[in-house]
Structure 1
Amino acid sequence: MFTKVLIVDDIDFNDAGAVQVLKNLGIPQVDYSKYCDDALLKIKKAQKDNEPFELLISDLSFKEDHRVEKLKSGEELIAVVKELFPQIKIIAFSIEDKSYPIKSLFEKYTIDGYVIKGRHTMAELKKAIETVAETNEKYISPELAHLLRDNTINEIDDYDIQLIKYLSIGITQENMESTLANAGIKPNSKSTIEKHINKLKIYFKANNTTHLVAIAKDLGLV
């Protein structure tokens, strides 16, 4: 079992519940932070003092307040921590239930677990911690388990996401070529754009680009 854990969440109620779960598991050192910048500083200091955190539990979204933060989301914090301290285990802890953002956390940052906030949050958090600590396997809330088995999203790359984002803000397919060229995005030929948009329509069974954007929003792609 872990001996030193950091919780990053800006909601007191969630902090209290998560801390109690960790105490029940017999974890001796539990620290927490309401800001991602503060969390990163704590992780760096602990590493420098040769008393590193073994597990990071982080929410994904944080409300802005009077403080100016460099790291504005849990995803940004996770990205930095994984780059600097890849040995730290990470469990994301959020209300986000869209497939693309969740799957990206596992694929881009190789997080170790994902717990969706809901009625059974604390019980699932306990199970996630036990799974990650004792079996070294990935954990995801049962209602989201299908996401890791869904290969559709694997076919979508960053270029496709950019196209959908431009479509979602009103850039027409006809104007996409010049938009990509002005943004310095390549390839930006008309034929390539048509090929990718047609591929997306087929993957998501969209009737047109408007329908495609709607489906993409439902999946959390944009």
Structure 2
Amino acid sequence: MSKNLKILIVDDHQLIIDGIISSLKEIGDYEISSTTNCDAAFAKLKQEPFDILFTDLSFDNDTVSAKLNGGEDLIKAIQKEEIPVKIGVITAHSEINRIFNVIQNLKPLAYLLKTKCGATELNFAIQKMMSNDFYYTHEVHQKMIRRASINIQMDEVAIQILKELPNQSKISNLEGIIKKEDGTILKLRSIESKLANLRIDLNAVNNTDLILKAKELGIID
């Protein structure tokens, strides 16, 4: 790239920062700054312009006096202040629901996993980000596709069943509780058929596993 990009890295572990800086030096002559807490990062961004911000999500060194408790708070503050910086996430969080919520709600241009964050991955991410395009680590991209496909399959009846199932000792107890969109009661055979399809969709071995998978995916609380 012709422009000497200014990049700010935010992570509470200096070794992680050093590793990212080392990888960045392999791919470009960037002007790199770093900090280990979100309040300091936000202050830097308000004081001087940066092209790209890479931030972790969780910070172990947050204190009760911290105004911004983690990367998500930092991103929200940046967006609220409309600070013109392109935002990427570099984190160890690979849980599908965490990924989905961060990408859906905060819309970072990049979501990279620390285990995959080498020079090649960073180079791809920066190229995409500077073109106002999105770049997700392959594992993240695959999880987003799966989460989106599950969302499409989740109708109101499925959500009712998944929410109510943990409260009942027997599946037969769901008859009379689960209703169709028109308000009519769903028969037991239809409930059992729906459960069987849900186990297939979520790759669950039994109904207990089904509930765990649904919670992991953020389908139910």
- The alignment's TM-score, normalised by the length of structure 2, stands at 0.67
Which residue does 2:16 correspond to in 1?
14
Shift of 1:22: 3.1
For structure 2, the 5+ residue unaligned runs are 169-176, 184-190
Q: 1:113 aligns with which of 104, 110, 113?
A: 110
Any conservation in 2 of the 1:5–1:53 contact (CA below 8 Å)?
Answer: yes
* 1:85 maps to 2:88: no
Any conservation in 1 of the 2:24–2:122 contact (CA below 8 Å)?
Answer: no
Q: What is the CA RMSD across the aligned residues, in angstroms?
A: 3.6
Aligned residues: 188
1:95-139 Cα deviation digits (max 9, x unpaired): 111222212222211210111111553431232112222x43211
Q: Quick one: which amino acid aligns to residue 19 of structure 1? A: I
* 1:64 maps to 2:42: no
Counterpart CA distance in 2 for 1:215 and 1:124 is 30
Q: Quick one: which amino acid aligns to residue 211 of structure 1? A: D
Which residue does 2:187 correspond to in 1?
none
Counterpart CA distance in 2 for 1:74 and 1:220 is 20
Shift of 1:65: 5.7
Shift of 1:35: 0.6
1:77-99 Cα deviation digits (max 9, x unpaired): 11221232263211100111122
Q: Quick one: which amino acid aligns to residue 140 of structure 2? A: L
SS in 2 for 1:6: strand
1:36-74 Cα deviation digits (max 9, x unpaired): 11111111222xxxxx11211001111136563122121
Which residue does 1:177 correspond to in 2?
none
Which residue does 2:30 correspond to in 1?
27
Counterpart CA distance in 2 for 1:78 and 1:44 is 13
Q: Quick one: which amino acid aligns to residue 26 of structure 1? A: D
Counterpart CA distance in 2 for 1:5 and 1:120 is 15
SS in 2 for 1:5: strand
1:128-165 Cα deviation digits (max 9, x unpaired): 112222x4321111222223333235457xxx99xx9x
Counterpart CA distance in 2 for 1:66 and 1:125 is 30
- The alignment's TM-score, normalised by the length of structure 1, stands at 0.67
For structure 1, the 5+ residue unaligned runs are 47-51, 175-189
* 1:145 maps to 2:141: yes
Which residue does 2:212 correspond to in 1?
214
Any conservation in 1 of the 2:97–2:216 contact (CA below 8 Å)?
Answer: no
Shift of 1:205: 6.9
Over 3 Å counting, the alpha-carbon distance change for 1:17 and 1:76 in structure 2 is same
Q: Quick one: which amino acid aligns to residue 213 of structure 2? A: I
Counterpart CA distance in 2 for 1:65 and 1:144 is 26
Any conservation in 1 of the 2:38–2:69 contact (CA below 8 Å)?
Answer: yes
